[in-house]
Structure 1
Amino acid sequence: MSGTLRDRTPGTRDRTAGGSRSGVIGAGRGFARLLIVTGVAGLLASFVITLDKFELLRDPDFVPSCNLSPVLSCADVMRSGQASVFGFPNPLIGLVAYAVVVAIGFGLLAGAGYRRWFWAGLNLGTLLGAGFCMWLMSQALYGIGALCLWCCLAWAATIAMFWYTTVHNLRHGVIRAPRALVSGVQEFHWVVPLTWYGVVVLLIATRFQAYWESLL
């Protein structure tokens, strides 16, 4: 398995194995750093979108810096109803959720361990986040007809966050699965996110094919 996914920190007592005396599961530096990086990326995207949303509310003629073309138009996305599904701007959720992930990552980097219910909750949270991001992507492509680059960053970060949390939980038995499946996931952990990103890029390319062709 790739070194980035090893959940044992060299030079420390292994607290990651299921059934450990402490009853907690830790993680190695690679996974901890992944949570920090993806959390910071999502937090940055949420912060910028929130600021731009406030500017749009104050000045309807405000043009966000990420408005680059008719397709890459953050303003169109921010003005849509899908941008406030729960009655308030969606990035406010991200400001909280991604900050929590960053805190968990730093905790793991410092040697913290969490109980199985905590890891299951993190997996569920990242699953809901990834599902919400994919719904927003479908709305951006086929409802709004425009993309927000900061939103795309948040989507990419959430996909990686969800998948590698799942890999971690499979490895430590938080998610029960046949040993052969767990071994395969650990060995070829890169297949799912690479395929996922490829499908997203393909959907974007085909949805706006006419626009891309007009640039050639």
Structure 2
Amino acid sequence: MSRRIRPKSSGVSTLDIWPWKYLVPWMREDLFARRDARKLGKLRRINEITDPYNMEEMVMPLHDFINDPVAHEIVHNGATFQVAGLTNNSYFSEAHEVRQCVRKHPTLGRAVLEVAKSRLDRMLYVGLTEDHKKSARLFVNMVGAQVLSQSKALSSSDVETQASARTELSSSFPESKTGGPDQLQARLLVPEAILQQIISLNSLDVELYRHAESIFLQQKHHIHKAQGS
């Protein structure tokens, strides 16, 4: 595992947050190593970017990234292991052994997946990263509604103030972007075999995401129904 870089400030840093506290030092080390290799003439200099997913002169190619031990340890099925409390950052002493066992015997991953699904089911709110604005608005409405319903001491003016604040907050989130034309075009250059390998390596996360989508739609339906009543 790559050594961690300690943040300089005393506040919360990306380097304090899993998985970035491991991934950032790893990728930074790789980037600097390739930069130094270019300076020494061991790697050719880049004059034109033709395939951003396969530029070994500057950054680790995608096919190397997905097969690297660090990616296997942290990235692949990382969301499932995180929700289940089984990452390399977990307090559970046997988390590493469980992950190793799942990698050697993929069918056992179903048990971990069911734990993650169960935990999602019990969460107050589930959002989707690629649907950022709708997720944020849904969060404001769900949490705000619960706070208002539990606070019996609120006066009518307080309720109006809270509702106004919820509307203002929910409108302050920008629309999420999935990438421009150049980025989408670059993705078409990724070989189908690599895409299938990524899906296979992250099969638990793929299914957990579908489960999260279902919960998200249920939340939206619940809010729309409540607002319509």
With the length of structure 2 as denominator, give the TM-score of the two structures.
Answer: 0.28
Greater radius of gyration (CA): 2
Asked which structure has the greater RCO (Cα within 8 Å, sep 6+), the reply is 1
